[in-house]
Structure formats: C-alpha cells, structure tokens
A and B are shown apart, each in its own frame.
Chain A
Amino acid sequence: MFTKYIFFFLSTVALYSAIMVLLSRKPIHSVLYLTLTFFAIAGHYILLNAQFLAVVHVIVYAGAIMVLFLFTVMLLNLNKEEVSPKPVWIKIVAIIAGCLLMIVLIGIFRGYDIAIEKDPALTQIGLVKNLGQVLYKQYLLPFELASILFLTAMVGAVLLGKKEQI
C-alpha cells in the first residue's frame, strides 16, 4: 500500500510541475519547474527499482540538460515574458487536440494489464551490474554507434556556435 501512496505523490508532483512549465510567465521559472518534474520522474525510476536509470536520469537531465537550458536563458538574457502570445483560438484548438489524444490513449490503456508474479520493486534487471552485462554483450553495436551520433552532435554544435572570422 505504501508504494501506492508514493506513486500518487510523485505523479501529482510531476503533473503539477509539468503544467506549471507551460503556465509560468518567465522562462526561468519554467526551467525550474521542469527540473522538479525530472526529479519526480527519478523518484518513479527508484520505485521501479531501475537504479541505473535513476542515476543516469539525474545526471543527464537534471545535471546536463537543465544546466544547458539555464545557461542559454542567462546568456541570451531571455528571461522576459512572452510579448504577444498566440491567439486564443489556437490555444483552445491545441488544448482540445491534446485532450482528445489523451482520451484516446487512456481508452486504449484502460483494460490493459500485465500479470506479474512478484513485486516489480524487487526485480533485479535495473541494477547496474545486470544492465551492464546486457549493454556490453547484446547491445554493444548500438552502444558503439551512439558515439558517431555524439561526434556528429559535437561537430555540429561547434559549427553552429562559433563565430566566423572572415
């Protein structure tokens, strides 16, 4: 029962801060609410006993990505309110479309269930040792090829970011 309460608490925090990301007037507040969402999701990973993912998630999202966002906001001095928001009818249409998508997805998932024998919190696959075994044996090739993706992103970010000396 206790895990259920934690689940609901974390979900409420995550959804509340996700909505606040959209409602905040200043970009910097949005970034901070997004960080809160990320921490709530890290809590969910721990609830699922996916320890490796929880740690990587905090390092990558809360550590790297949030710092990048904050850095951009500060660097470009973007912390202003939106001057001319989109017209109201576009917002209403967008919200209706989003809600429809949500209703469809929830309708699909409602009756779905996977029969489990033991508590998901006790599965061992999310531990660093077990995931490492799988990652470096079965998934070695995608792991290596991800480095090409990183190299591309690195070269690309330098290409876009540096100022030309003509």
Chain B
Amino acid sequence: MSTIISLSVLGVLILAEGLLGKKAWHLPTILIGLLVSLALTLSGWNLNLHYYNEMMIVDNSSVAFSSILIFTTFLIFMFAGHYYRGVQRPLDDIYAILIFALVGSVMMTSFGNLIMLFLGIETLSIALYVLAGSHKEAITSNEATLKYFLMGSFLSGFLLFGIALLYGASGSLNMDEISAYTVREAAHLSPMFKAGLFLLIIGLAFKIAIVPFHFWAPDVYEGTPTLLTAFMATVVKVASIVALFRLFSHCFPAIRETWETTLWILAVLTILVGNLTGLYQPNLKRMLAYSSISHSGYMMLAVLAFSARSADALLLYAAAYSVATVTAFGILILVRGAKGNDLFTSFEGLGRKNPVEAVCLTIALLSLTGIPPLAGFMAKYYLFATALEKGYLWLVILAVLGSAISVGYYFKPIISMYLKEGEGIKLEAGFAYKTHIVFLTVLTILLGLLPAFLINLL
C-alpha cells in the first residue's frame, strides 16, 4: 500500500516540478523517490497485510516481485539522462507516465480482487499506449502506438468478457471466493466458467505477448523509443507474468486439469516460435523482442509447475532476465545513438574500439542464452528443476531445445563484434553511463554465483 502511495506521490511531484520548469531536478527526484519506495516496499516483508476488504493482499511474493519491478525501473531511469540529453521538450510528462505505469504494474503484483487486476492492467496499458507514441514526429512511433492501442483495446474486451463470465458463474470478483467456488464445483464445473477462463487466458496472453497473441510485440518494440522499449520488455513483461502466476496459483489450483493442457501448448508454442523467428531478425531490437517473447514462454513454466519453489524460481528468473535485458538495451541505446540504426553490421569492430561495452553486451547475451555460470543459467536451472518435479518432462525437453536454438541468434551480435572486421565507431558513453553498465554486468555475474540470495526467499 505504501508502495502505491509513494509512487503516486512521486509521479505527481514530477508533474509539479515540470510546472515550475525545474527540468534538472527530475532525474534526481525520481531516482531518490524510487529508492524510497523500494525501501517502503521491503518494509512490508513478512507482514502479510490485507487492505480494504481484500482489495490488495501484500504477501511476501508481491513484496518480492514489486521490489524487482521498482528496482528494474530504477536501472532503466539511470539511462534516461543520456537517452534524452539533446531533447529540448519538457520531459516531466514522459517520466510521470512511466512512474504511473509502474504503479499499475505494482497493482498487478498485489491484487486480491479482479477489479484491482483490471484497473492495474488498464493503468499500465494506457500509460504504454502513450509512451509508445511519445516520439510524435517519427512515423514508426505513430504506427507502433496505433497498432498497440487497437490490438490492446480489442483484446481487453476478451479479458473483460472472461471476467464477466467468471463473475456470472461464481458470483464474486474476490479471489478467495472464486477459489472457494472452484474447490466446491471442481467435479462439475459449469461450461460458462470454463469459457470465462479461456477468454481470460487470451486477454492475459496478449498482454504478456504469448504466441499466438504475440504478433504486435516486435512491431511495437521496434517503433517505440528505445528507452521505453526497455521498460516494456522488462517491467511490463514481468508484471504481466506475475499477474498470471498470482491469478492461477490463488484462484484455479483446484481445477488444474481444465487449464493445464492449454497453458502447456501455449508455453511450447511460445518457446519454439519465439526462438525460431528470432533467428531471422535483421536487427538487435527486433531480436530482443523475440527474445522477450521466448523468455515469457520459459516463465510460463513457473505458472504451470506451481509450487512454493516455482515462485522462487520465477523470482530469480525475472531478476536475471530483467538485469540482462536492461544491459542489452543500454548498449543498444549507445549503438543507435552513434550509428542511427541497430543492424547487426553496426556492431562490427565494436570489440576492439569499445572493449568494455562489448564485454558487457556479450555477458548479457550469454546470460540470456543460459550459459553457466551466469544468472540466466541458474534461473533456467531452477525453473526447469521445478517443472521436472511436477513431471513435465517433455515440456522441459522442448524448453532446452528452445534454448539451444536461441544460441543461433544471441551469438550473432557477439560474432559481429569480435570476429568481423568493420570500421568500428567510438561509442560516446560518459563515465557514469559506463559505470552503470559495468554495475549491471557485475549484478548478472553475482546473481549467477550466489543465486541462494534470491532462491530461498518465498
């Protein structure tokens, strides 16, 4: 609760600073504010508070996932100063909307009622429609926002229809009561409840970008300004997966066989299609879009193999994925700034001219592939182990196969950087920017070496 209040106040504060014209104050305020709300979030650890008739339930898992979301946003804001350095227009509106989007995603990790889930998703979505189109002069940005908006509001309709049917069948919007209903009626579930469940899965699958509802993701990611794409690929993705996880682990564990096959098929499709299509992408940004799609497939494993340990595994996975993806986007911002595009040819010769950046990008991509001893490997290991415990042998085999395919595209930029001769360009990263990237890389390595830090928390 204090998280939501502090973040909302932070957003309003940024708008007020914009009104006063204090542009230089924005970033310091945001960074301090995010740290304060991170501290406030962590202070809710082990308290297990229920707010306002079960509207919000702040248990340990929601504290942990909210902290990851806030921390990732903090990491992304560290790049903002560099990304927007030559921009004359006031930035208070973009920053404030980013913070409000974060509020929406925090709501999605701690809802106790389907109304709160819906409001969280919509706050996040509306903020993202605006952010995707925030570069108004670029036609690609316009196109991204229109596609995202039309598809998003269309699929929101399915989500709502699903919630309406669940309400009609169970007579309540409260998660505990729906859960009680499924336990009571597990043997003879009404077809209306099943239909509602499937429509709900469709709606959420769109927000997460799960195959076959993923087709918007590469276009929207490519058209959106890069800094905001980093936000979409990490915070939004993790928040939506966590919402799915929370919903299924709280409400529907009693009727497992109803949804198990559907989610199984969706997870396999996501992993295979995401990785195979990733092989054919011409540039790093689209490649990262497909990488994020396939990673959401891996994270679906945690939803399928629900147990106390799968929450731990999802937490580690979300942290590892977010940190590595933010690093990759940090380098992507530099290359796009210097070259104007992010084709794989632009990375040629980077290894010699900018050794630090090249090493950091390499480590981030290796972590995303899942090479030991990096964070991505440990996360995948724990995730697959929990899935195996529940007996999903084929799913794990297909997921490992997917990771093997992903080597094909994650190594493309690495090969360009080190093995191809190119004229090479000097990336204009300031000292602070470089330090931040190195810090992120160290974090990736540390998470890989000491996963126990996150793995036995929940």
A152 engages B123 (CB within 8 Å): yes
Chain B residues within an 8 Å CB radius of A105: 195
A151 engages B100 (CB within 8 Å): yes
Seen from chain A, the residues whose Cβ lies within 8 Å of a Cβ on chain B are: 104-105, 108-109, 112, 137-142, 145-146, 148-149, 151-153, 155-160, 164, 166
Chain A residues within an 8 Å CB radius of B113: 142
Chain B residues within an 8 Å CB radius of A141: 51-52, 55-56, 116
- Encoded as 1 (CB less than 8 Å from any A CB) or 0, chain B from 100 to 131 comes to 11011001000001011001001100110110
Jot down 22 A-B pairs with beta carbons below 8 A, ordered by A.
Answer: A105-B195, A108-B192, A109-B192, A138-B52, A139-B115, A145-B103, A145-B107, A148-B100, A148-B123, A149-B119, A152-B100, A152-B123, A152-B126, A152-B127, A155-B97, A155-B100, A159-B94, A159-B130, A160-B134, A160-B136, A164-B89, A166-B89
Task: Specify which of A137, A149, A151, A166 is in contact with B122 (CB 8 Å cutoff).
Answer: A149
Given A109-B192, A138-B53, A164-B136, does the pair A156, B116 have CB atoms closer than 8 Å? no
* Closest chain A residue to B165, Cβ basis: A108
Chain A nearest CB from B115 CB (Å) reads: 5
Max count, chain B CB within 10 A of own CB: residue among A112, A159, A160, A164:
A159
- The 10 A-B residue pairs whose C-beta atoms are closest, nearest first, are A156-B130, A141-B52, A141-B55, A152-B100, A159-B93, A149-B123, A108-B191, A138-B53, A142-B115, A152-B127
Q: Measured between alpha carbons, how far is A106 from B52 in the docked complex, in Å? A: 37
- Encoded as 1 (CB less than 8 Å from any A CB) or 0, chain B from 185 to 198 comes to 00000111001000
Q: Measured between alpha carbons, how far is A65 from B150 in the docked complex, in Å? A: 17
Chain A residues within an 8 Å CB radius of B94: 159
B126 engages A155 (CB within 8 Å): no
Chain A residues within an 8 Å CB radius of B15: 155
A155 engages B93 (CB within 8 Å): yes
Chain A nearest CB from B386 CB (Å) reads: 33
- Chief secondary structure at chain A's binding surface: helix
B4 engages A145 (CB within 8 Å): yes
Q: Measured between alpha carbons, how far is A151 from B116 in the docked complex, in Å? A: 17
Q: Is B370 an interface residue (CB 8 A)?
A: no
* Closest chain B residue to A145, Cβ basis: B119
Task: Specify which of B56, B130, B190 is in contact with A152 (CB 8 Å cutoff).
Answer: B130
Q: Is B68 an interface residue (CB 8 A)?
A: no
B126 engages A153 (CB within 8 Å): yes
Q: Is B305 an interface residue (CB 8 A)?
A: no
Chain A residues within an 8 Å CB radius of B119: 142, 145-146, 149
Besides A149-B122, A152-B123, 9 new A-B residue pairs in contact (Cβ under 8 A), listed by A number: A139-B115, A142-B55, A145-B103, A152-B127, A155-B100, A157-B130, A159-B93, A159-B130, A159-B134
Chain A residues within an 8 Å CB radius of B12: 151
Chain B residues within an 8 Å CB radius of A145: 4, 103, 107, 116, 119, 123
Q: Measured between alpha carbons, how far is A137 from B55 in the docked complex, in Å? A: 12
Chain B nearest CB from A57 CB (Å) reads: 16
Q: Which residues of chain B (66-106) have a CB below 8 Å from chain A?
A: 88-89, 93-94, 96-97, 100-101, 103-104
Q: Is B29 an interface residue (CB 8 A)?
A: no
A112 engages B126 (CB within 8 Å): no
Task: Specify which of A108, A146, A152, A164 is in contact with B97 (CB 8 Å cutoff).
Answer: A152
Chain A nearest CB from B190 CB (Å) reads: 7
Q: Is B283 an interface residue (CB 8 A)?
A: no
Task: Specify which of A109, A137, A156 is in contact with B129 (CB 8 Å cutoff).
Answer: A156
Q: Measured between alpha carbons, how far is A156 from B4 in the docked complex, in Å? A: 20
Q: Is B258 an interface residue (CB 8 A)?
A: no
B192 engages A112 (CB within 8 Å): yes
Chain A residues within an 8 Å CB radius of B136: 160, 164
Chain A residues within an 8 Å CB radius of B89: 164, 166
Given A152-B100, A155-B15, does the pair A112, B190 have CB atoms closer than 8 Å? yes
A156 engages B107 (CB within 8 Å): no
Chain A residues within an 8 Å CB radius of B307: none
Chain A residues within an 8 Å CB radius of B137: 164
Q: Measured between alpha carbons, how far is A152 from B99 in the docked complex, in Å? A: 10
* Closest chain B residue to A105, Cβ basis: B195
B97 engages A139 (CB within 8 Å): no
* Closest chain A residue to B92, Cβ basis: A155
Q: Measured between alpha carbons, how far is A160 from B192 in the docked complex, in Å? A: 40
Q: Is B413 an interface residue (CB 8 A)?
A: no
B52 engages A140 (CB within 8 Å): yes
Given A146-B119, A148-B8, does the pair A159, B56 have CB atoms closer than 8 Å? no
Q: Is B133 an interface residue (CB 8 A)?
A: yes
Q: Measured between alpha carbons, how far is A151 from B10 in the docked complex, in Å? A: 13
Chain B residues within an 8 Å CB radius of A157: 130
Chain B residues within an 8 Å CB radius of A108: 191-192, 195
Q: Which residues of chain B (1-17) have a CB below 8 Å from chain A?
A: 4, 8, 11-12, 15
Q: Measured between alpha carbons, how far is A155 from B99 in the docked complex, in Å? A: 12
* Closest chain B residue to A158, Cβ basis: B93
Q: Measured between alpha carbons, how far is A160 from B115 in the docked complex, in Å? A: 28
